[in-house]
Amino acid sequence: MRILAIESSCDETAAAVVEDGRRVLSNVIASQTRVHGAYFGVVPELASRCHIEYALPVVREALDLAAQSLGVRTADFEASTKSLALDAIAVTRGPGLIGSLLVGVETAKTLAWVWNLPLIPVHHIAGHLRSVFCELPAGQSRILEIPPEGDDSAPEWKSDAESCAVESQSAGPPSPNTRQRKPVFDYPYLGLVVSGGHSSIIRADAPDRLRVLGAALDDAPGEAYDKVAKRLGLGYPGGPAVDRLAAEGDPQAFDLPRPVLHARNYDFSFSGLKTAVVRVIEDLGGPDRLRGDGTALRDLCASFQAAVVEVLLTKAERALKGERLSRLAIVGGVACNRGLRAEAARRFGRIHLVFPPPVLCTDNAAMIAAAAAHVKPLCKEEALALDARAGWELP
């Protein structure tokens, strides 16, 4: 089963072709990071406009790359679907920004109609949870940085060498015999979904049997990273910048709160932590002064990151025990975080822990195609009537 998927829920226009829910033939992403950078956050109106401009070029690139990897010729769009023998088109229906989702949904509906293919709507979080099953060979990802308004330079597709090199199953139970193969990751497992828009702890018993055990009560962790970075003047998205600085700082330098750490539930809250960091920034003389003092800046980033990581992993650990699970998948944009990866590997040495490669942590369409392989396609009438759902709950 070969599926072309489109993802446009936030600020990445993405398309991918995936075989049998696992093998990634192409993973193509046009990123709007530079477009929103000046505003320190996603501007929905700009995001929708970029999706409209890039949706078809991204699909085209995904089809070309998939064709190349299969060694088939693709003269044009029409020829691509025939020679690629696509079985279905999948699309992120929600949750996300409504204007962004609409572009992906309408593009997918149109292509499914024109090419006479079944349409499969996918939940964005179900996609993140399937990302750990994607097998992404080196060279199958292409990234394009969309230039900001006023920059007329022609953007170029780049192969994402760094992300392709990272293993998709980064940790597992320690094996006394290093020659022994790692066990294959499977259901049931606990999913710690940590991203910018939505975050939760989910029990996954099967692709279509997902139960939310806890969620962010206010700011999602990625949102807290972005807001702290914005306050420090570190640019957007904030996660990678704070992560880099934190690696060189002292995580115990500042005594920051660990909100709802001891509450007997699997929810988390980062708004209070973010406010505490903002107060420290003011106490230290404001962001400009702090950026001039490298040590204090690195220490504050490290202390903030340590608090986030401790809350996330303590909640995950409690949920693993409560649900009697021995597998953990950490997914979503914040799963790129090096501090989180290192501490999780240290803390969860006895369970089967997996992270996707970074290019499949942040929003992508490969995870949507992988999830779609387990969702029933819509009939033609249902496909034509499909709507985008900004606040779609996990079915």
**Positions that interact with ligand KG4 (CB under 6 A):** 10, 195-197, 222, 225-226, 237-240, 243, 332-334, 336-337, 362-363
* Window 353 to 392, contacts with Zn ion (CB under 5 A): 363
Which residues in 193-222 contact Zn ion (CB under 5 A)? 195
CB 380, min distance to Zn ion, A: 29
CB of 308 to ligand KG4, least distance (A): 8
Q: For ligand KG4, give the closer residue by CB, 67 or 144.
A: 144
CA distance 71 to 63: 12
Q: Which does 238 bind (CB under 5 to 8 A by kind): Zn ion, ligand KG4, none?
A: ligand KG4
Site string for Zn ion, 315-344 (x = CB under 5 A): ------------------------------
32 touching Zn ion, by CB under 5 A: no
CA 8 vs CA 53, 95, 124, 221: distances in Å: 12, 10, 10, 21
Element (H, E) at 368: helix 366-372
In this structure, are residues 194 and 335 in contact, taking their beta carbons and an 8 Å threshold? yes
- Looking at the Cβ atoms of 121 and 221, the one nearer to ligand KG4 is 221
Which residue, 81 or 195, is less far from ligand KG4 as judged by CB?
Answer: 195
Minimum CB separation of residue 82 from Zn ion in Å reads 32
Helix, coil or strand: residue 22: coil
Q: Which is nearer to ligand KG4, 340 or 383 (CB)?
A: 340
Name the minimum Å distance from CB 92 to Zn ion.
9
Say if residues 60 and 13 touch (Cβ distance below 8 Å).
no
- 145, burial (CB in 10 Å: exposed 0-12, middle 13-18, buried 19+): middle
Cα–Cα distance list, 359 to 32, 49, 162, 297 (Å): 15, 23, 9, 27
- CA dist., res. 234 & res. 220, Å (int): 19
For binding to Zn ion (CB under 5 A), which residues are involved?
195, 363
